[in-house]
Amino acid sequence: MSNAQVLEILVKTAILLGGMATAGAYLVLLERKMAAWTQDRLGPNRVGIPFSRLRLFGLGQPLADGAKIVLKEDFTPRQADRTLFSLAPAIFLTAGFAAFAVIPFGSVLPSVSGGDPIRLVVAPGMNVGVIYLFAVSSIAVYGVILGGWASNSKYSFLGGLRSSAQLIAYELPLGLGLLGVVAIAGSLDFDEIIAAQTRAGWFGLTQPLGFLVFVIAAFAEAARLPFDLPECEQELVGGYHTEYSGMRLLMFLMTEFLHLITAAMLIVILYLGGWHLPGLTGVSEEVGWFGALLRVFVLTSKVLMVILFFMLVRWTWPRFRYDQLMALGWKVLLPLGLVNFVAVAVLDQIQTTWDLRGGWWGAAFAAVSWLVLACSLLAVAVCAPREADNRPRVAGV
Amino acid sequence: MKADDPGIRWLGPARLTLAEKLYLPLFVHGLTTTLRHLVKTVCGRSVTVSYPEEEPEIANPLIYRGVHRLNRDSQGRVKCVACFLCATACPAHCIDIVAAESPWPDREKYPEQFTIDELRCIFCGMCEEACPVDAIELTSLYNLTGRSREEMVFDKEKLLSVYDMTKDKEPMQSSRLGGTL
């Protein structure tokens, strides 16, 4: 590996680490603003440039929040397991950042020195990117469970426990939703998956059922409302990070927003065409500087849209009860994911066998997959597997 | 009472219609509600008032219960006749009146001193209700601040000055008793 390549990777890592940390901080502001707006309030709008009267719509708020939380006492409860207590947020944050190694944040940049174009991903050409991402995001669960256990507190423990059950339950539909995409794209590399969508249409349109399953599972994986049971404030104080304060709390909170970004990026890259926008970005590998930056812009805008959707949903739906969450995961999403995979596989095999790849045929097969979505939803509604009888059991009746 | 007691009537959850079971129509419905509020607030119609820059709009200043004032009659004298009805009605015992012989022929007594401890006051408006001559009233001044406890004990002069300050914006309520309304 040449020095130039090492430098390239270091620069990309620096951009990602700095950019994501900043994005995380500003997403907190965005979240608070969205919360305020949906509740007819104004939200934080006072903090601007310090020692001046410029308020800049509250854009200084993340800095003030960060300064505040860093200056807070970093307290460790006496009963806590000190080693694990310190280790948990570090694991959580590292896993959160490590996930971005394989996620492309654009297409390519034209080379400066006349060599190959620069791929806008930290680890380019990693042909098991999807598997890597799933492995790393599973480690994040480890940080949550560890934090809950090491705190030696009931609330933290319950939060950690719920989190482990929830994340395991929703990892399955997430994987099943992904399976359809990977099967059609024929690759585990995110760049390849985007390239496949530029040819065959966005997977969100051709596999709507898988899209639905994946989005719902992604909400649960990112522990966003309506699935934020690991840290539901009303029942568990703060969930697994109840006992944390100061810097270590900040690490937990920031990682949650990193998860939000990861989930949004996955949704965009796997189902919404990544940097591709028909008629605007082009599909070819060779792009000029303008085209390359346009693709980065398109990808970022899509991710922002998805994040806004996440935040809007937060104030739309109340939190699921624990048994409802489990029922939705195991009884609804898992079968739907399987149905989606079977439907995708069958439709693709039919297309391959009879060579029905033209424009109208593609549209027809997409219509069939929308029909599959409608039928599955209808089946779920009629069977209603979510309904549970919670009455106390009476012996002998 | 045991769970199999015949006296228990078990209530199930409400039956859902097909559209409700489908989840998505209701989800879209909820999302439009959230979005509507979002758009409304972003367009500048939020209910929040940016207080120091913007003053809240008080719907009806005449019925708002803020700082007290002692009204003057048409000759500029204090209207109070020192009957102690307000001090008696006050549940917080924050009104202290020292009565004296009236120097004017139209009444027997007048308040030599009239003090209200604004920190003890609970702004219930009972004094206003009790007053037979509409001498004490609550204004719509809500931003009452001070730097000491002593400063917050309003004497007669101060209460009269509150009247002078607010008489144009909030005229006296009863014309029967010489008010301007």
Q: Convert the pLDDT of each residue in A92-142 to its tens digit.
A: 899 888 888 888 887 777 777 666 777 777 777 778 888 898 888 888 888
Q: Tell whether A200 and A214 lie within a shared domain.
A: yes
Q: Tell whether A133 and A23 lie within a shared domain.
A: no
Size of interface A-B (CB pairs under 8 A): 66
Give me the half-sphere count of Cα atoms (radius 13 Å) on the Cβ side of residue B92: 14
Across B7-19, average pLDDT: 79
DSSP E strand boundaries for B91-134: 95-101, 109-117
Provide, as residue numbers in chain A, all residues whose Cβ is less than 8 Å from the Cβ of B21: 380-382, 384
Task: Show the tokens assigned to A331.
Answer: 């009884």
Q: What is the pLDDT of residues B60-92, one digit of tens each?
A: 887 888 899 998 888 888 989 999 999 999 999
Q: Is A27 part of a structural domain of the chain?
A: yes
How far, in Å, are A174, A183, A336, A337, A369 from residue A347 at the CA level? Answer: 21, 12, 16, 15, 8
Q: Which residue of A has its CA nearest to B29?
A: A316
Q: Is A41 part of a structural domain of the chain?
A: yes
C-beta atoms of B22 and A377 within 8 A:
yes
Provide, as residue numbers in chain B, all residues whose Cβ is less than 8 Å from the Cβ of A317: 27, 30
Which tops the pLDDT comparison, A292 or A235?
Answer: A292
Least reliable range by pLDDT among A33-37, A239-243, A305-309, B170-174: B170-174
Q: Tell whether A164 and A302 lie within a shared domain.
A: yes
Q: Is A393 part of a structural domain of the chain?
A: no
Least reliable range by pLDDT among A83-92, A309-318, B81-90, B162-171: B162-171
**Which of A25, A44, A71 is at the close of a domain?**
A71
- Nearest Cβ partner for B48 among A41, A378, A387: A41
Q: What is the pLDDT of residues A318-328, one digit of tens each?
A: 888 888 888 88
pLDDT at A389: 64
CATH 3.30.70.3270 is right for the domain spanning B68-166? yes
**Which of A14, A49, A71 is at the close of a domain?**
A71
Using the predicted structure, report yes or no on whether residue A50 has a pLDDT greater than 80: no
Q: Tell whether A29 and A148 lie within a shared domain.
A: no
Q: Tell whether A161 and A185 lie within a shared domain.
A: yes
Which tops the pLDDT comparison, A235 or A391?
Answer: A235
Which tops the pLDDT comparison, B122 or B12?
Answer: B122
Please give the DSSP secondary-structure letter assigned to residue B95: E
Q: Tell whether A67 and A84 lie within a shared domain.
A: no
Q: Is A280 part of a structural domain of the chain?
A: yes
- Nearest Cβ partner for B4 among A37, A377, A397: A397
Q: Which of A293, A280, A283, A271 is nearest to A120 (CA)?
A: A293
pLDDT at A121: 79
Domain of residue A341: give its range.
77-383
**Which of A38, A55, A71 is at the close of a domain?**
A71
For residue A118, list its beta bridge partners: A109
Q: Which residue of A has its CA nearest to B17?
A: A381
pLDDT at A169: 86
pLDDT at B181: 42
Q: What is the pLDDT of residues A157-185, one digit of tens each?
A: 888 888 888 888 888 898 888 888 998 88
pLDDT at B95: 92
Q: Is A356 part of a structural domain of the chain?
A: yes
Across A73-88, average pLDDT: 86
Q: Is A103 part of a structural domain of the chain?
A: yes
Give B123→chain A minimum CA distance, Å. 28
Using the predicted structure, report yes or no on whether residue B115 has a pLDDT greater than 90: yes
Using the predicted structure, report yes or no on whether residue B93 has a pLDDT greater than 90: yes
Q: Is A394 part of a structural domain of the chain?
A: no
Across B1-17, average pLDDT: 78
pLDDT at A122: 79
How far, in Å, are A43, A57, A302, A317, B53 from residue B38 at the CA level? Answer: 12, 17, 20, 15, 23
Secondary element (H or E) of residue B123:
none
Mutate to test the interface with B, among A38, A53, A216 (most CBs of B within 10 A): A38
- Count the domains in chain A: 2
C-beta atoms of A394 and B3 within 8 A:
yes
> Quick one: CA torsion of A101, A105, A108, A109, rounded to 10 degrees?
-100
Provide, as residue numbers in chain B, all residues whose Cβ is less than 8 Å from the Cβ of A40: 37, 40-41, 45-48
Query: Global pTM?
Result: 0.82
Q: Tell whether A60 and A155 lie within a shared domain.
A: no
C-beta atoms of A39 and B37 within 8 A:
yes
Q: Tell whether A101 and A190 lie within a shared domain.
A: yes
Q: Tell whether A263 and A299 lie within a shared domain.
A: yes
What lies within 8 Å, CB to CB, of A311 at 6+ separation is A30, A31, A34, A35
- Nearest Cβ partner for A41 among B27, B33, B46: B46
Q: Is A391 part of a structural domain of the chain?
A: no
Looking at chain A, the whole-number percentage of residues with pLDDT higher than 70 is 93
Most distant CA pair in chain A: distance in Å? 82
Using the predicted structure, report yes or no on whether residue B10 has a pLDDT greater than 80: no
C-beta atoms of B46 and A313 within 8 A:
no
Which tops the pLDDT comparison, A56 or A249?
Answer: A249
Using the predicted structure, report yes or no on whether residue A243 has a pLDDT greater than 70: yes
C-beta atoms of A37 and B37 within 8 A:
yes
C-beta atoms of B31 and A316 within 8 A:
yes
For residue B98, list its beta bridge partners: B113
Task: Report the distance separating Cα A279 and Cα B94, nearest Å.
Answer: 76
What is the ipTM for the molecules in this complex? 0.78
Using the predicted structure, report yes or no on whether residue B177 has a pLDDT greater than 70: no
- On whether any CB of chain A is under 8 Å from the CB of B35, the answer is yes
C-beta atoms of B30 and A392 within 8 A:
no
Mean of the per-residue pLDDT values of chain A: 84
Q: Tell whether A283 and A255 lie within a shared domain.
A: yes
Task: Show the tokens assigned to B99.
Answer: 């009565």
pLDDT at B100: 92
Q: Tell whether A131 and A246 lie within a shared domain.
A: yes
Q: Which of A372, A43, A328 is nearest to A209 (CA)?
A: A372
In degrees, to the nearest 5, what angle opens at C-alpha B64 toward C-alphas B167 and B121? 95
pLDDT category at B111 given cuts 50, 70, 90 is: very high
Least reliable range by pLDDT among A104-108, A191-195, A268-272: A104-108
How far, in Å, are A10, A61, A396 from residue A112 at the CA level? Answer: 16, 38, 80
pLDDT at A392: 65
- Nearest Cβ partner for B38 among A38, A393, A394: A38
- On whether any CB of chain A is under 8 Å from the CB of B75, the answer is no
